[in-house]
Chain A
């Protein structure tokens, strides 16, 4: 069993969803500065264990850095960098009401404190008297150097220069942004060359810059190997810069002509850059640079002793991957601490440092390396999103400052006996650990457990959902494979439709009401979309037809077994004659709806992927578009109140049309067209065997119609018309305004979609010598388009009738249809 950490919560802030990653910084005495990414910076006193001040900035705070010598605090904000003098801050805090013990002082930072008006500053670093600002411009990273004034705060900050680095891999960056909603702050640290040989110079330099979490002294050989001889000769501090695009760049600060150069690429956003493995002998010289990426890649940079043959030391890069995302990280003398958001883990680097020393670089050691990276030790502290080390380490234990996602500032005291980890018997010091520590640890475990629970629950939910989706997919695919054998009615999930004329703003339009019927045993859950594509049949082969297709999508929530979903869509306006139309229905399931929005944003390729399952295809033909007039009235004299205006306009229109065509005819063809007093009627006819009709229609209608079998020719005629107009053999039927007319006569007057009147007549005729009795359906209209369309529609209907007719009937029946051309000629 591992030793437990003592977690002590100092204070709690409420915060959520901020534009920048939070940061904690220990500095300027015993204060902790917190910037949570929002507009505020909190100043917490570790001595008094309370929040001393809240600094309110005009925009989200991206970074802060303190200057020890001058007691200044630099804070970068959207509009630029602000500089606040700490003594001034304290005086303001003290001058505020004396009962400040209860509430911290709130200070609004105005633009008077603005020292550098550089927009979009993301990270700050102070190297002696130079303030470095890293910001992101359109396509490049910009590192600007400003000279801080010697004495007074009022004098200006002189810009010394700037370095540009073009951006690469924008995807990598946007990916993380999309996932968390916050921008990852680039890491900016400074590496100083350590000079053990000249103690006098190092002591002066160390007095200027104290070793904090963004300044380290590196062992000279490693420094030379990584950053070059020139930087070492010039004793130039080197700026290391870990970018969200994964690159680790360096810049020798005081070398003329130096440029930002890439040291290494982690290929994932850099979370942390630090130095570790302090030599026992040298004072504070790091022997190893550590860089940590967001997805767990760890790169250790250290000196490799060269082989005796080749001679000379080399810079060694050891790469490894720790499990889990890394939210924040911290390095102390021998350990790398990192938080995955759900747990705080520790990795022993001193083990790692010996992996290569004096050993052959064979497969075994590298495997050992990988194994060591794979097995970090859990500290059982959850939800830590920012880490820092307190400057004072009085007791000698390892202490960390953590900020949790809930805004709790915690002091994490690591178990002292952890170095000899693995030994099962706890050291006596640890037994005496207070109950409070144990309780807080238990609380942490509880919190972690609840996080895991919700994660498992949502996973189960998704699996159940996916199961439903797969069931439905198999059902529909099975349907598709056996489509020929299954009549439409037997499909368990299908669509049927109804056409309906409606009138809106003086314009008639034909609407299609589609009904999705779920008679399967499965629920159509959230994520399904009914997609309906409408395209004219006659153009479907040509390129023009593709452009004229219209697509409608109807996402819906839940459709339980036995329920129906009714959607309505505009089919065409009056005057449009692109019938027959094909309506193809399909069900689409988007995979992104399986996962929540967060996960989807994480996998951009998933957003567009979906399952599309075709349902069935419906055809809307001319017969569906007819508006049948009441059989009792003559179409012209009828004055149904709802449609009177419609009729008059129609007749006027018809008159105008005929007039125009007559004029045209006169103009072109001379006197021939003018001689005909009345406009010519086109007509076409279709003949069907009466026997067949009797077999099929009467059989069909007998159970529908309570008036019993109709066998008389007159009845047969009217029932044929009735069937043509109102039945729905393929799932589409004609809607009707008001009551459905009972067709008693064998003549139907109707208006087509173009407004022409159409007359359908059914009568019994004898065909040929065998005196085969047949029913002739004659279509008459002044519009050729209407006649052609209706003729086609009637033929198609009768063909389907033949398909459903019994075998016997089919063998004897005979259909004769006169060609359209003949009919026209006769007309």
Chain B
């Protein structure tokens, strides 16, 4: 008889011991791998974690099967539910959510069989309400609460926010009881040392705190994406006082900032982003969003500053997923998997940030700095370590354009030799593939689509031709800069020869060579083509003026003005040539017209950097020209 009584308790002790050993091993392994994680990249160590985690998970499941092999006994329940908790934590950490949820529900139903009533499991909300009610004040009340925590985690990880919303009250009371009952917990822990209490792999109190903040973050993100910014903001503000890891608090501040930005309060949004950055210096999304706000506000200096910071932060080794000081197997990244949150948090790749930075610098007068950034960018693209693994938008421009932009920047920084080398690279790559003749259709929708999608065979031939032309143009500019007029003429001529290969075809008309009197949309191939034509003819015309071939110069300059009337250099030099040819009245008219153009509009705004008018060629002084007109005037 005594033997019989002894047997089950013995078994119970054995199982408790087995559980506790497993928990200790698991905790130890996790702690050591966490230390590793702090050193290296996050993704890898997460991957490596999976293997031991899997073995622990299977161990817990094995133990659970042993325990559940015996019919439910009241004094086993505590142990059984604890082991269920441990097994479920391991499953959830491996993203096996459905398995974990099933295990959890079945375990609770089994436990409730002892109390007599069996809740219907059709509706999760109803199920949990009945469970919490029927458990009431029984001995395994706390265990069931712990399991509810896990269920919460599973709902959060699978983005089932409606259930969480429905059970809002129950969950908040759970949060309060678990976090409020500090003394009770301490007592439990103290008793836990005596090795007859089954241990748990993660502390449920810490888990519930994490869940609370993660739920707030996800709900905030969802509301924000649904456009309910003010509701989201108030919820987030209450969440900002919760106890939580720094990185998560930074998320809360960041989301508040995004809400404010949506409510068009940019200054307050900037404040929030700053708070986020103060809380967690690695919150790159806050930096990125502040940069966007500065851009919106037109504060170029601040924008460049933010871009520079963002770029240097992104270059840090492990910044994408900040090291979250967590004692949990369940990491916040597992729980924060909402689509809207990740789209809010997304940040362009370091290279594309570097490109924006370089372009901004060049466009806003910091040429030498911009050149350095361009060179960094090109070096990064050619380094062995570069791997095209970042695919977020906004992507980089096509590489030839990047080369041309960098070339233009180099020329601006008075480094024509480097510029020519870059252009040579572009030309050598594309030259063999250029078509002999190409027709550009009027509605450019088709070619537009082709430009975006780099198809394998139908690589955009016109685009390629324009790149090559632009490369020749830049080389011409370089020679102009070096005052090598003969070479300049050669290169401008090459550009022009390429450009005349393009025939323009209006609907219902024969293909024709393009002329200046056509209405041209910005950013299209046609627009670029006209601009290139204007610039190259102007460049050649100016070169001819330097070698005193005035007739040729006048022809080219007039043609240039026809192709692209807004070309200032061409206009002024055309006047100059006319003046030199003695046609002074015409010259004066030409100058006046050009000046009126420049005051009217700046059509060069939307064009790439390499299609801007060169600043380095021979220049004419406008005041001197006005003098001449004044002198001419009385005549």
Residues of A at the B interface (CB closer than 8 Å) are 117-118, 128-130, 145, 147, 156-163, 197, 220-221, 224-230, 232-236, 251-259, 261, 263, 306, 308-315
From the candidates B51, B432, B437, name the one contacting A221 in the complex (CB within 8 A): B432
User: Distance (Å) between the CB of B486 and the closest chain A CB?
Assistant: 25
User: Distance (Å) between the CB of A202 and the closest chain B CB?
Assistant: 14
**B-chain residues with CB within 8 Å of residue A308 when the two chains form the complex:** 436
**B-chain residues with CB within 8 Å of residue A253 when the two chains form the complex:** 387-388
A/B pair count, beta carbons within 8 Å: 127
Complex CA–CA separation, A312 to B395 (angstroms): 28
Decide if B459 touches A161 in the complex (CB within 8 Å): no
**A-chain residues with CB within 8 Å of residue B47 when the two chains form the complex:** 117-118, 159
Residue-by-residue, is B139-179 near A (CB-CB < 8 Å gives 1, otherwise 0)? 00000000000000000000000000000000000000000
Decide if A158 touches B395 in the complex (CB within 8 Å): no
Decide if A224 touches B429 in the complex (CB within 8 Å): yes
From the candidates A129, A236, A313, name the one contacting B432 in the complex (CB within 8 A): A313
Decide if A129 touches B384 in the complex (CB within 8 Å): yes
Nearest B residue (CB) for A130: B387
Complex CA–CA separation, A314 to B388 (angstroms): 26
Decide if B398 touches A230 in the complex (CB within 8 Å): yes
User: Distance (Å) between the CB of B348 and the closest chain A CB?
Assistant: 10
Complex CA–CA separation, A263 to B457 (angstroms): 9
5 closest cross-chain pairs (CB), A and B: A311-B436, A161-B389, A258-B388, A311-B435, A230-B399
B461 at the interface (CB under 8 A from A): yes
**B-chain residues with CB within 8 Å of residue A226 when the two chains form the complex:** 456
Complex CA–CA separation, A226 to B433 (angstroms): 12
Nearest B residue (CB) for A230: B399
User: Distance (Å) between the CB of B98 and the closest chain A CB?
Assistant: 14
**A-chain residues with CB within 8 Å of residue B403 when the two chains form the complex:** 233
Decide if A158 touches B386 in the complex (CB within 8 Å): no
Listed A/B pairs (29) with beta-carbon separation below 8 Å:
A145-B387, A156-B40, A159-B47, A162-B389, A224-B459, A225-B456, A228-B459, A229-B399, A229-B433, A229-B464, A230-B454, A232-B429, A233-B399, A233-B403, A233-B429, A234-B381, A236-B388, A254-B382, A254-B388, A256-B388, A259-B391, A306-B435, A306-B436, A309-B436, A311-B435, A311-B501, A312-B436, A312-B461, A315-B457
Nearest A residue (CB) for B39: A156
Restricting to B31-71, which residues have a CB under 8 Å from any CB of A?
Answer: 40-41, 43-44, 47-48, 50-51
From the candidates A130, A251, A252, A256, name the one contacting B390 in the complex (CB within 8 A): A256
Complex CA–CA separation, A425 to B398 (angstroms): 59
Complex CA–CA separation, A230 to B432 (angstroms): 15
Q: Which of B41, B51, B388, B425 has the most CB of A within 10 A?
A: B388
Decide if A197 touches B428 in the complex (CB within 8 Å): yes
User: Distance (Å) between the CB of B62 and the closest chain A CB?
Assistant: 20
Complex CA–CA separation, A220 to B351 (angstroms): 26
Q: Which of B47, B349, B398, B461 has the most CB of A within 10 A?
A: B47
**B-chain residues with CB within 8 Å of residue A159 when the two chains form the complex:** 41, 43-44, 47
Complex CA–CA separation, A159 to B396 (angstroms): 23
Q: If A161-B387, A254-B386 touch, does A233 touch B400 (CB 8 Å cutoff)?
A: yes
Complex CA–CA separation, A781 to B381 (angstroms): 100
B434 at the interface (CB under 8 A from A): yes
User: Distance (Å) between the CB of A590 and the closest chain B CB?
Assistant: 39
**A-chain residues with CB within 8 Å of residue B395 when the two chains form the complex:** 256-257
User: Distance (Å) between the CB of A747 and the closest chain B CB?
Assistant: 61
Complex CA–CA separation, A157 to B41 (angstroms): 10
Decide if A312 touches B456 in the complex (CB within 8 Å): no
Q: If A158-B44, A256-B390 touch, does A229 touch B400 (CB 8 Å cutoff)?
A: yes
User: Distance (Å) between the CB of B366 and the closest chain A CB?
Assistant: 24
Complex CA–CA separation, A343 to B588 (angstroms): 87
Complex CA–CA separation, A309 to B456 (angstroms): 22
**B-chain residues with CB within 8 Å of residue A225 when the two chains form the complex:** 433, 456-457, 459
User: Distance (Å) between the CB of A291 and the closest chain B CB?
Assistant: 14
Decide if B40 touches A158 in the complex (CB within 8 Å): yes
Complex CA–CA separation, A313 to B403 (angstroms): 23
Decide if A256 touches B352 in the complex (CB within 8 Å): yes
User: Distance (Å) between the CB of B496 and the closest chain A CB?
Assistant: 17
Decide if A257 touches B388 in the complex (CB within 8 Å): yes
**A-chain residues with CB within 8 Å of residue B430 when the two chains form the complex:** 229
**A-chain residues with CB within 8 Å of residue B435 when the two chains form the complex:** 306, 310-312
Decide if B454 touches A228 in the complex (CB within 8 Å): yes
B84 at the interface (CB under 8 A from A): no
Complex CA–CA separation, A157 to B386 (angstroms): 16
Given contacts A117-B51, A224-B433, 10 further A-B contacts (CB under 8 A): A129-B384, A197-B428, A225-B433, A234-B381, A234-B382, A251-B388, A257-B349, A257-B388, A310-B435, A315-B456
B426 at the interface (CB under 8 A from A): yes
Nearest A residue (CB) for B401: A230
Complex CA–CA separation, A130 to B395 (angstroms): 23
Complex CA–CA separation, A308 to B390 (angstroms): 41
Complex CA–CA separation, A377 to B54 (angstroms): 54
**A-chain residues with CB within 8 Å of residue B44 when the two chains form the complex:** 156-159
Nearest B residue (CB) for A264: B456
Restricting to B391-433, which residues have a CB under 8 Å from any CB of A?
Answer: 391-392, 395-396, 398-400, 403, 425-426, 428-430, 432-433
Restricting to B13-44, which residues have a CB under 8 Å from any CB of A?
Answer: 40-41, 43-44
**A-chain residues with CB within 8 Å of residue B382 when the two chains form the complex:** 234-235, 254
**B-chain residues with CB within 8 Å of residue A220 when the two chains form the complex:** 432
**A-chain residues with CB within 8 Å of residue B391 when the two chains form the complex:** 257-259
**B-chain residues with CB within 8 Å of residue A230 when the two chains form the complex:** 398-400, 454
Residue-by-residue, is B344-386 near A (CB-CB < 8 Å gives 1, otherwise 0)? 0000010110000000000000000000000000000110111
Nearest B residue (CB) for A197: B428
Complex CA–CA separation, A508 to B274 (angstroms): 87
Nearest B residue (CB) for A258: B388
Decide if B386 touches A229 in the complex (CB within 8 Å): no
**B-chain residues with CB within 8 Å of residue A257 when the two chains form the complex:** 349, 388, 390-392, 395-396
User: Distance (Å) between the CB of B55 and the closest chain A CB?
Assistant: 12
Nearest A residue (CB) for B463: A229
Restricting to B326-344, which residues have a CB under 8 Å from any CB of A?
Answer: none
Q: If A159-B44, A233-B426, A314-B457 touch, does A255 touch B464 (CB 8 Å cutoff)?
A: no
Nearest A residue (CB) for B50: A117
Complex CA–CA separation, A99 to B382 (angstroms): 52
**B-chain residues with CB within 8 Å of residue A255 when the two chains form the complex:** 381, 388, 399
Q: Which of B429, B436, B438, B459 has the most CB of A within 10 A?
A: B459
**B-chain residues with CB within 8 Å of residue A232 when the two chains form the complex:** 429
Complex CA–CA separation, A315 to B459 (angstroms): 10
**A-chain residues with CB within 8 Å of residue B386 when the two chains form the complex:** 254, 256
Complex CA–CA separation, A72 to B176 (angstroms): 57
**A-chain residues with CB within 8 Å of residue B428 when the two chains form the complex:** 197
Q: If A256-B381, A256-B396, A312-B433 touch, does A145 touch B389 (CB 8 Å cutoff)?
A: yes
User: Distance (Å) between the CB of A148 and the closest chain B CB?
Assistant: 12
User: Distance (Å) between the CB of A305 and the closest chain B CB?
Assistant: 11
Decide if B456 touches A233 in the complex (CB within 8 Å): no
**A-chain residues with CB within 8 Å of residue B436 when the two chains form the complex:** 306, 308-312
Q: If A306-B435, A312-B461 touch, does A227 touch B396 (CB 8 Å cutoff)?
A: no
User: Distance (Å) between the CB of A224 and the closest chain B CB?
Assistant: 6
User: Distance (Å) between the CB of B435 and the closest chain A CB?
Assistant: 4
